[in-house]
């Protein structure tokens, strides 16, 4: 076999391996999006009442991805909302994590426990005067 044919054969094999890897990564990414979507549906309307926006972050160049981002005027650096729930990531299989940007110190093994944490964080922020109903 000449060098040109050997290069083509090797490149084809490596491309096949790379495509399989991308396919597995996309399947995992989609599973995580599917786990976060119902949470967004549950919290978005309630948090909007307090001027908080809830979005699904899907930019793979910024870890963690996908993740739920919660933003608003009351979500300033070091506020209770920022520290406890400004970024939420995870999946049903691996569990969920919440906290601030790349500092997910709160861990939950179920969606219900995560929702309870979000409820507590928002209620605490209301009681302490950080949040008011819009």
pLDDT, tens digit (0-9, with 9 covering 90-100), for 15-38: 888 888 888 888 988 988 998 999
pLDDT of residue 101: 82
Residue 19, in any domain of the structure: yes
Residue 107 has pLDDT above 80, yes or no: yes
Provide the residue range defining the domain that includes 77: 3-127
| Phi/psi of residue 15, nearest 5 degrees | -65, -40
Query: Global pTM?
Result: 0.81
Residue 132, in any domain of the structure: no
Torsion of CA 52, 55, 123, 93, to 10 degrees: 180
Mean pLDDT of all residues in 32-47: 93
Total domains, the chain: 1
Task: Answer whether 70's CB lies under 8 Å from 114's CB.
Answer: no
Residue 43 has pLDDT above 90, yes or no: yes
End-to-end CA distance of the chain: 73
Residue 132 has pLDDT above 90, yes or no: no
Residue 133, in any domain of the structure: no
């Amino acid at each position: 076999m000449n060098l040109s044919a050997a290069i083509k054969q090797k490149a084809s094999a490596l491309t096949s391996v790379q495509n399989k890897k991308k396919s597995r990564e996309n399947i995992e990414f989609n599973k995580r999006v599917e786990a976060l979507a119902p949470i967004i549906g549950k919290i978005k309307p309630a948090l909007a009442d307090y001027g908080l926006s809830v979005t699904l972050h899907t930019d793979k160049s910024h870890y963690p991805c996908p993740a739920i981002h919660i933003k608003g005027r009351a979500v300033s650096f070091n506020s209770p909302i920022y520290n406890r729930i400004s970024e939420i990531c995870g999946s049903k299989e691996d569990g969920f994590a919440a906290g601030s940007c790349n500092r997910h110190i709160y861990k939950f093994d179920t969606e219900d426990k995560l929702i309870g944490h979000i409820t507590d964080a928002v209620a605490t922020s209301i009681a302490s005067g950080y949040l008011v109903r819009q």
